Structures are given as C-alpha cells and as structure tokens.
A = this chain, B = another copy of it.
Amino acid sequence: MSEKQEGITVKKSQDFSEWYTQVIIKSGFVDYTAVSGCLAFRPDGYFAWEATMRATDELFRKDGILNVYFPLFIPEKFLQKEQEHVKGFTPEVAWVTHTGESKLDERLAVRPTSETIMYDSYSKWIRSWRDLPMRLNQWNNVVRWEFKHPVPLLRSREFLWNEGHTAFATKKEADAEQDFVLGTYEAVLKDNLAIAGIVGRKTDSEKFAGADASYSIEHILPSGKTVQGPDFHSDGQRFAKAFGITFLDKEGKKDFVYQNTFAISTRELGVMVALHGDDKGLVIPPMVARIQVVIVPIYKEDTMKEVMAATKEIQKRLSKKFRVHVDDRDAYSPGWKFNEWEMRGVPVRIELGAREIKEKKVVAARRDTGEKAPLAIGELEDGIETLLDDIQTNLYNNAKKFLYDNIRPAKTYAELKKILDQHGGMVEAGWCGSAECENRVKDETGAKITNMPLDTQKKTKGAKCTYCGKEAKHIANFGRSY
C-alpha cells in the first residue's frame, strides 16, 4: 500500500453534521473552493446532477415545455418592480457595480431567480391568445448570498437548478399545471435520486416572494431537521401586472396572463447523500451513479495474466449496458480498493480472481446492504441488471420508510414540543391558519410549518389548532429546518 487511506472517522448516528461533511468531501463528490459557500462539483457529483437534469428535462419536453436561456444579470430597477419580490430577494443579492475599471450607471444583480428579466421579455413576446400557453424553462446557476453558515449542497450560495416560467390565458389552465410539475419532481426524485418527500402547500408567511400560493416537496434528514425540496409557485397575475404581460383573448379583450414558476435544485444531491450514506461513506443510487459497477481483479503473479484477461472480457461485455470501471492499480491491495469504492458509493463491486474464473462465478457486493453473492459469469448482464434495480428500489423504500417513520402526529402543543425535542422530523398537527399561532410556535420551538400536506387535508375535520385550541383549518407539518 503506497498511500495512507483515511475513511470516514465519525459515525452518522453520533455526529450527523460532521459525518455529512466528511462523506461529501472525502468521497470526491464535491469540494470546497476558495469562495465561501460555493462548491466545485467533481465528476461523481456533477454526473448525479446531469442525470437528474436529463430525467426532468425529458418529462418537461414531452409535456411541451421548451428550454431557453436568459442573462445572468438583472438591472436593479427590474428587481424592484414587484414589491414582495424585491423585499424577498434584495438582502441576498450579489451586486456587480464595476466592469473593468469603470463604474456601471446602474448596478446589476447576479440572478437570484429570473422572473423579472424573463417577464420583461414575455411582455414583448406575448400579444394574443395564440401565443399562449407559453411554457419556458431554463437550466442555469443562481446566487443567493444569504447564509451566515452555508452547508455544502443543502445551503450553497451558488447553486444549479431549473426555473420553469409559464404563462396561461386562464387561471384554470395555470392551476392544471401544478399536478404535472409536482408529479414530475416526485417521479424524478424517486426514479433517480431514490428519495421521497411530502407534497404540500406552504403557508402565506413561507411562500415565495411574489407568489399567490407556493407548493413544495419537503424532506427529513437523519439529523432530524427538515429541508425544502422542489417547489411550484402559483403567481396568479401579480408579475403580469408588474411587468405588463397582457394578451388579447379570442373576443379581442385585453387581459393579464396567469403564471407559474417551479424549480428543482442541486440541493437534492445533498438530501440524497444525507439519506443513503452510511458509516463507510457515500451510497449513490444506480440511476445517478457515474460508475455503476467497479471490477476489482484479484491476482498473484502467476494468475495475473489469466485474471486480467477475464476482467477485460467482462468489462467489455458489461460496458454495453452499464457504466463500468476496472480498478487495475497495482500499488493498492484489494482490501484497500474495496474501502475506497465503498467510500465513493459505487453501487456494485465485482471481485474476480482465479477461483472465480474456475467456478465461472464472480462475487458481487452491493453497496447498500453490504451483501455479497455469487453471480454466474455466463449470465452476468442479467445478474447485474437485477442487482442494480434491487438497489435502486431498496434505497427508495428505505428513504420513504425513514420519511414516514419520522412524521408523528400531535394533538397538543406539549406533545408537539416533546416530539420535536425527542425525535425531530415533522410533527403533523392541526393549525387554525393564523400567522400568530404559526409565529409563536416558531419562536418558542424553532419549528416552522414546512408545508400543509395535500393528502392530509381531509383529516382536518374536528381537529383543533395545537397552539390556540381553536378549530383547525389545516393539518400542517411542523419541523426545524435547514
């Protein structure tokens, strides 16, 4: 062994925060840079994002959403056109004030989100009902310099995302998009990152700056804290009025368009790491793993030729269907390599030596459970495919179980506080709908309403607000959030 090997030195259950940082950095998934709060996405990390983008993009395209690209910079006066919007974003904007040696006449915001620059164009592009719906989307980078304490991926100052911005002739058509978008995000999270979340409506105090109503998918992390995932905002005619986006309807009458915006970001990679990783390191779901199968040949001097030939043959076969890497570095022992690939989260490891060749079976180790099992070399493609499918499903099922295991109902405020302190996660409780109760709970417990789950609203009948005891208007999930 030519180099020291350092694994993860802390247990996930003991110090989640330190464990998370070690895993994400030591595995080579991402790295810190000289710019605080801004990460370098290394090949494994960026691949996971590309896979997530590609999957989302395909579903968007099939539904008729078109990709565009708008400028990184937004004139200051644009940000100020929608009152709620400017209040929400100005405190965290990175400002360009100079170019070269010259001072700019007007400061330019590095986009924290692109409503304002896009809708100025929409007001020129949309003239008649024939131009609607206009369903555009962009994949880009945004900057929000808000955080005193950035957490890699979960709260980064620059992140990557999609921002969908759609315009419709009627509120009904605009509202009909909500199920499609949230359903798409749920499916993408499940089928790619193998994670789950609770779909619900945000309260008015937690909604997007400039929206009529916001919806989100909320996650729970092993730390007990919650984190907001992809979201969907029903903007109504607010931005349309601020930016003058009007159209002539079929009767020749002028009206403002109805708009939605929606986003999924690289934060989801952080959720993926947090949920699937273990004390050995990262666990990457097969669908987003840059390397799905690593082959480690095991040989001595006299068996090297035979083992390497078999390895190349298997690599060639498997590469037709899977993303395969052969670790043939001769300076490291097999055990050292096993540890490294486990830390890096590769879903399946194949061990191949002289004995395996003789028995016409390889040893396949799955990263999620650590189980080892023989796979017949003759049917290796099928064996690996089944294994990868199993791992993907197993990781998702675990994530979903963890989510629902950590949502606990509370009837009283005492119960709510007790659950938060003992378990964290989300507490499902009645809420009267007043901002006062919401704020008091937040001030007293540190827990906000993550969202009001869409599928629990039927339970509202007869429920009471856990804070004030009045009749509940909603069932809300309370949690301490990143």
Seen from chain A, the residues whose Cβ lies within 8 Å of a Cβ on chain B are 3, 31, 33-35, 38-43, 46-47, 49-50, 66-75, 78, 90-101, 107-108, 110, 117-118, 120-121, 124-125, 128, 130, 136, 140-141, 143, 145-146, 158, 160, 290, 329, 331
Query: When A50-B67, A110-B72 are in contact, do A100 and B92 touch as well, CB less than 8 Å?
Result: yes
A-B CB proximity, top 5 nearest: A38-B71, A99-B145, A43-B66, A41-B69, A95-B98
Docked-complex contact A110 and B91, CB < 8 angstroms:
no
Cβ-neighbour of A72 out of B118, B120, B158 (below 8 A): B158
A149 to B400, CA, bound (A): 55
**Distance (whole angstroms) from the CB of A284 to the closest CB of chain B:** 15
Docked-complex contact A97 and B98, CB < 8 angstroms:
yes
Q: Is the interface of A mostly helix, strand, loop or mixed?
A: mixed
A331 to B50, CA, bound (A): 42
Docked-complex contact B141 and A34, CB < 8 angstroms:
no
Q: Which residues of B contact A69 (CB under 8 A)?
A: 40-41, 46, 49, 160
Docked-complex contact A78 and B110, CB < 8 angstroms:
no
Query: How many protomers of this protein does the assembly include?
Result: 2
Docked-complex contact A121 and B67, CB < 8 angstroms:
no
Query: When A95-B96, A98-B95, A100-B93 are in contact, do A71 and B120 touch as well, CB less than 8 Å?
Result: no
Cβ-neighbour of A68 out of B40, B94, B145 (below 8 A): B40
27 contacts between A and B (CB under 8 A): A3-B128, A33-B71, A34-B78, A34-B120, A35-B71, A35-B75, A38-B71, A41-B68, A41-B69, A42-B68, A43-B66, A43-B68, A46-B66, A47-B67, A49-B69, A66-B290, A72-B143, A73-B143, A73-B158, A91-B100, A91-B101, A92-B100, A93-B99, A94-B96, A94-B98, A94-B99, A100-B146
A143 to B91, CA, bound (A): 24
Query: When A33-B120, A38-B73, A72-B141 are in contact, do A43 and B130 touch as well, CB less than 8 Å?
Result: no
Docked-complex contact B40 and A70, CB < 8 angstroms:
yes
Query: When A40-B70, A73-B158, A141-B141 are in contact, do A97 and B95 touch as well, CB less than 8 Å?
Result: yes
A116 to B, closest residue via Cβ? B34
Docked-complex contact B68 and A117, CB < 8 angstroms:
no
Query: When A43-B68, A46-B68, A120-B33 are in contact, do A130 and B92 touch as well, CB less than 8 Å?
Result: no
**Distance (whole angstroms) from the CB of A332 to the closest CB of chain B:** 9
A49 to B, closest residue via Cβ? B69
Q: Which residues of B contact A73 (CB under 8 A)?
A: 35, 38, 94, 143, 158
A140 to B158, CA, bound (A): 13
Cβ-neighbour of A130 out of B93, B143, B331 (below 8 A): B331
